Amino acid sequence: MYVESPRYTERFGSVRINDIQKVVALDSGLKSEIPPHGAMGVVKISEETIKDFEDRMAIVVPVKDERLKLFEGVISGIPHDCLIIVVSNSQREPVDRFRMERDTLNQMCRYTNRLAYIVHQKDARVAQAVKNAGYDELLDENGVVRNGKAEGMVIGLLMAKLAGKEYVGFVDADNYSPGSILEYVRIYAAGFSMAKSPYTMVRILWHYKPKLSGGTHFRKWGRVSEITNRCFNSLISSRTGFETNIIKTGNAGEHAMSLKLAELLPYASGYAVEPEELVSIFEQFGGTLPAGPAAVVKHGLDLFQIETRNPHLHEDKGTEHLGGMLLVGLSTIYHSPLCDQETKRLILSQLTIQKALKPRQQPPKPHINRPPSEINIREFTKNMEPCLEIYSALYEG
């Protein structure tokens, strides 16, 4: 794969924020005549390097009642060497959609001779392991894991840790294009290979084609991202004293991290999860609040924003929730101790303009699940490890 080299990097405390890098070519061949680094602003990431990172990566697929054909397509696009971890919150009755997902995954794993895990978000054993680990905020009033993509992601990354992986990436289950999934994961690998620090995150910028995929959803989504990014940039500017537009992936749904970093971040419920990760990175490592773990400050943290070649073709579930999406995303910035008065004013005015908030209302505080590093992960592992096999897609029981 060829990717534009990280040409422009802004520093915010210990965080190295790289500007958008485009994928130049999806494949770079086997022969290596071209200098691997720095040739005309392009980085060559060899197939070997990509496979090496894929082998150390788990791909978590959160899914809730998606069309089975889409789910099937998505898992077919995940590179063979990655460990697939499906966390499903799909219905069990009257139609057992979870069972259907499990069967689909089972078939793919049997045909292609690979390992995958699939776990239901309401699984009693998972709930018990979470409880024993002291991760109570992840549970609802019935004592099972709360609804939500973010909570599914947390279960996924705990499973990735349990399986001994070093990296975790996320892909949504409602993507129409298996080829895009393949590209996302290759981009994750490419990003990790460029990182100087073991604490690293790769966020995807979709190359979306609004006309192709029917209109308003993408226009509105584009608007939500634009506003979120503007607020992030205002936040950084207020601290550094310099105008910036470096953040372009504030809402990125598709992203990946080293587990070392993933453990240090809190996970906000709902659509707040991706912005909250960034907020927390800036709080802990932006250099203006008391710093997070010294190891990160020492190594720094590499943030990559990489733009895909494939257009983003995604299930259109209508546009109603976009106001809500903006609201919860911006509320993570608003309620951060980093947030200055000017950024707060910007957030309030944007939310009222978009009719996501009434005048003089405050955005609600997001529900935050603590960083996994603050819970007793060993207890979670101790509870889950003996029965890990049950969650294998190949398990017959």
Which spans of this chain sit near ligand GDP (rule: CB under 6 A)?
A: 62-64, 66, 87-89, 121, 147-149, 152, 172-174, 253
The distance of closest approach from Cβ of residue 386 to Co ion in the complex, given in angstroms and rounded to an integer, is: 35
List residues near Co ion by CB under 5 A.
Answer: 174
CB atoms near residue 85 (< 10 Å):
27
Tokens of 60: 């978590």
- Pair type for strands 57-63 and 83-88: parallel
Contacts 24+ apart (CB under 8 A), 103-109: 104/68, 104/71, 104/72, 104/75, 105/75, 105/393, 106/393, 106/394, 108/72, 108/75, 108/76, 108/393, 109/393, 109/394
Rounded to whole angstroms, how far apart are CA atoms 206 and 222? 10
Chain-centroid distance, C-alpha 147: 17
Closest residue to bound ligand GDP by CB: 152
Closest residue to bound Co ion by CB: 174
The distance of closest approach from Cβ of residue 143 to ligand GDP in the complex, given in angstroms and rounded to an integer, is: 17
The distance of closest approach from Cβ of residue 230 to ligand GDP in the complex, given in angstroms and rounded to an integer, is: 19
The distance of closest approach from Cβ of residue 280 to Co ion in the complex, given in angstroms and rounded to an integer, is: 23
In 152-311, which ranges are E strands?
Answer: 167-170, 200-207, 255-258, 267-268, 301-311
Q: Are 98 and 88 in contact (CB under 8 A)?
A: yes
Closest to ligand GDP by CB, 171 or 339: 171
The distance of closest approach from Cβ of residue 212 to Co ion in the complex, given in angstroms and rounded to an integer, is: 16
* Binding at 87: pick from ligand GDP, Co ion, none (beta carbon under 5-8 Å per type): ligand GDP
* Binding at 253: pick from ligand GDP, Co ion, none (beta carbon under 5-8 Å per type): ligand GDP
Closest to ligand GDP by CB, 290 or 318: 318
The rounded radius of gyration (Å) of the Cα atoms in the chain is 20
Closest to ligand GDP by CB, 174 or 283: 174
* Binding at 149: pick from ligand GDP, Co ion, none (beta carbon under 5-8 Å per type): ligand GDP
* Binding at 173: pick from ligand GDP, Co ion, none (beta carbon under 5-8 Å per type): ligand GDP
Q: Are 269 and 148 in contact (CB under 8 A)?
A: yes
Handedness of CA 235, 240, 242, 248 (dihedral sign): negative
The distance of closest approach from Cβ of residue 174 to Co ion in the complex, given in angstroms and rounded to an integer, is: 4
Closest to ligand GDP by CB, 87 or 257: 87
* Binding at 118: pick from Co ion, ligand GDP, none (beta carbon under 5-8 Å per type): none
Among left, alpha and beta (phi > 0; psi -120 to 50; other), residue 82 is beta
Closest to ligand GDP by CB, 43 or 171: 171
The distance of closest approach from Cβ of residue 330 to ligand GDP in the complex, given in angstroms and rounded to an integer, is: 15
Closest to ligand GDP by CB, 78 or 338: 78
Among 270, 252, 249, 240, which residue's Cα sits nearest to residue 343?
A: 240
Closest to ligand GDP by CB, 59 or 173: 173
The distance of closest approach from Cβ of residue 366 to ligand GDP in the complex, given in angstroms and rounded to an integer, is: 16
Instruction: Give, as one character, the DSSP assignment of residue 370.
Output: P
* Binding at 338: pick from Co ion, ligand GDP, none (beta carbon under 5-8 Å per type): none
Specify which residues 11 forms β-bridges with: 16
Closest to ligand GDP by CB, 32 or 216: 216
Q: Are 386 and 102 in contact (CB under 8 A)?
A: no
